[in-house]
A and B are shown apart, each in its own frame.
Chain A
């Protein structure tokens, strides 16, 4: 009896050890340099986990009916269509700015499309790799329409609502150090800042100009506020993926470039079906992954089939169409800004697809 009990106890502890040890091994495989690409995970899973903001009208916004809409969301859909052949095979996660990189590192999200600014520190130090910039904006300030603040020169000593742990916060600090002004920061998440600003708790609310404009445009008393006509920083917003995953990053990079090239080449959501049957030229044929006048389909070496950009275009249309459907709707015009095509005075430019 005694021996049996002792043996049982020993067995139990061994099992515990084994269980812990097993967990250990799994963790290592996931945590180290992933030998498997996220691309494979996504295809196996059949659904894309897309990290978005979820609270910024025009970029990613959770509608009352539970669907997500916006510029960033369209790119999630484009990637899902390209990789999974289904633009709706996306699970959106509203992520906080403070935890976005951790969620990416933990592979809770496959791709981060959350109005995230590309910076050297993030690229080099935070384990993030950035796809091409999808939107160029810059930091500005929203103020109350009846305030006497028209530029940063009028801002000495004021209280400023600023999202903490963002590039915005750092730009603000740099700017005021340069101006030799003082200010009182009030840091919260985006929505909290908006509430505090509207309530009059802070004199100015700083953030990406596109964000401020789109949020103010949604307010019932939008006329009580204005965004000053001064930009204090460069904020190129780009999708982020995990470092060291070229197969996955290549696909996302070229979905973005593909949608830009499509606009330049005149491929739209309405003509993509017809042009896939009968492409007008070789450039369009290559982009859509179809043969030109009985030739071969060009295989450029992606880990997905050559028609992935065609599928993205069928799902969401080209870059310009996405812009008109989302960002333009919240009152941010495109013409004359950096986000116009390079042929129209902007800097939206994609390397050739060949």
Chain B
């Protein structure tokens, strides 16, 4: 950062002497010294305050003696498993809600952001109403509202709403059909579903390769090659073919109500649903504003030029506007994603067993607040770093590829 101070040209009067504290170098030094001193004092204070305690993470290996609800794909009980295992169950719950919330709020955010720019008066006003409502109410209030008012407002499980034996709604949650591995008509073993998933990956790779080739051909020859339609069609065909060839290894399981619980199918519990709804609706409003702002930041000429060469509104958006707007959108939207991961800690407000809730239970039972909160902080930091890494990668690709 060394910069050459401009030398006054000869013959001009000497500049007046600058007092020491106004000199950049001295001032920087002073500020840094002060910063170091304050940091050292804070650390010393914390160490002195906590000096008498015992430290260590050994307590995490002891049996948890509490159970964690709202598990998905896992059923780990706290009687025999360690506290750390239960913490990881909480981490898994957090990851689940964060990934879904990010994906859904991106989709809804883009839709609503584009809708706000619609020339249809009703559509744009509705989008504005959505944004202004959900952006300006605290997230915690929204989550509790979804939980206590909307989801608890559903009837009890004894009076469950049954939509064609397909969808069940009650205040025990929403039950939807779900897939189960199945021997299929060859009567094969359950792991056939794994083979099918592998086949899906292969089909995806192949489709991606075809798309690339067609894109290149399109660019070189100038003829329309429909890369996306080809890729999607190929993937669908391969998926269906392998599915039938393997003897349909996946069956759809409809939910049923058994006593006071949902059995089979997939139950989405109100706690999870409320947190997800809250996060998605809240974040969508912000993403929508980012999308709108980024599109409006483009010169109007882009839209007009695209219209002038006869592109439809949809083509205009997907081939001209959004690719350019993405460069604005991605860095801002990354911040929203980071917020989602941190805001997910509001889960304890609706009794959803996320990592913060589980860690809090551990801390309340055994103490060790310093270690537990260190663990929580590091976990959230890791999550944020992973999100940042992924987003930076996407950002690099977008800036490189756009012409």
User: A residues touching B (Cβ–Cβ < 8 Å)?
Assistant: 1-2, 5-6, 8-9, 13, 16-17, 20-21, 23-24, 27-28, 31-32, 97-98, 102, 121, 125-126, 147, 157-159, 164-165, 169-170, 172-174, 176-177, 182-188, 192, 195-196, 199-201, 203
Q: Decide if B323 is an interface residue (CB 8 Å cutoff).
A: no
In the A-B complex, list the 4 residue pairs whose CB atoms are closest, starting with the nearest.
A165-B364, A200-B156, A177-B79, A20-B41
B-chain residues with CB within 8 Å of residue A185 when the two chains form the complex? 66-69
B-chain residues with CB within 8 Å of residue A173 when the two chains form the complex? 65-67, 77-79
Q: Tell me the minimal C-beta distance from A92 to chain B in angstroms.
A: 22
Give A122 to B121 CA distance when docked, in angstroms. Answer: 63
Also in contact, A165 and B37, with CB within 8 A (given A9-B21, A20-B45, A172-B67): no
Q: How large is the interface on B (under 10, 10 to 19, 20 to 34, 35 or more residues)?
A: 35 or more
Also in contact, A187 and B20, with CB within 8 A (given A13-B34, A159-B261): no
- In contact, B353 and A158 (Cβ under 8 angstroms): no
Q: Decide if B30 is an interface residue (CB 8 Å cutoff).
A: yes
Also in contact, A183 and B21, with CB within 8 A (given A199-B156, A200-B158, A200-B171): no
- In contact, A157 and B44 (Cβ under 8 angstroms): no
- In contact, B360 and A201 (Cβ under 8 angstroms): no
- In contact, A164 and B361 (Cβ under 8 angstroms): yes
Known contacts A28-B48, A28-B49; 4 further A-B pairs (Cβ under 8 A): A125-B366, A164-B357, A185-B69, A187-B351
Q: Decide if B200 is an interface residue (CB 8 Å cutoff).
A: no
Give A1 to B75 CA distance when docked, in angstroms. Answer: 73
Q: Tell me the minimal C-beta distance from A147 to chain B in angstroms.
A: 8
Give A115 to B259 CA distance when docked, in angstroms. Answer: 34
A-chain residues with CB within 8 Å of residue B365 when the two chains form the complex? 121, 165, 170
Give A201 to B17 CA distance when docked, in angstroms. Answer: 76
Give A176 to B79 CA distance when docked, in angstroms. Answer: 9
Task: Jot down 30 A-B pairs with beta carbons below 8 A, ordered by A.
Answer: A2-B19, A2-B20, A9-B21, A13-B30, A31-B49, A97-B364, A121-B366, A159-B260, A169-B66, A169-B67, A172-B67, A173-B66, A173-B67, A177-B79, A182-B75, A184-B70, A185-B67, A185-B69, A186-B351, A187-B69, A187-B351, A187-B353, A187-B357, A196-B152, A196-B351, A199-B152, A199-B156, A199-B171, A201-B171, A201-B172
Give A189 to B109 CA distance when docked, in angstroms. Answer: 34
A-chain residues with CB within 8 Å of residue B45 when the two chains form the complex? 20, 23-24, 27
Return the contact of B260 from the options A21, A164, A183, A203 (Cβ within 8 A).
Answer: A203
Return the contact of B364 from the options A13, A23, A98 (Cβ within 8 A).
Answer: A98
A165 to B, closest residue via Cβ: B364
Give A5 to B367 CA distance when docked, in angstroms. Answer: 49
0 or 1 for each of B63-101: is its CB under 8 Å from A? (1 = yes):
001111110000101111000000000000000000000
- In contact, A188 and B351 (Cβ under 8 angstroms): yes
Q: Which of B52, B148, B270, B367 has the most CB of A within 10 A?
A: B367
Q: Tell me the minimal C-beta distance from A126 to chain B in angstroms.
A: 6
B260 to A, closest residue via Cβ: A203
Also in contact, A16 and B65, with CB within 8 A (given A24-B48, A31-B49, A199-B152): no
Return the contact of B30 from the options A9, A21, A102, A187 (Cβ within 8 A).
Answer: A9
Q: Which of B353-385 contact A (CB under 8 A)?
A: 353, 357, 360-361, 364-367, 369
Also in contact, A158 and B270, with CB within 8 A (given A32-B52, A165-B360, A173-B67): no
Give A97 to B48 CA distance when docked, in angstroms. Answer: 28
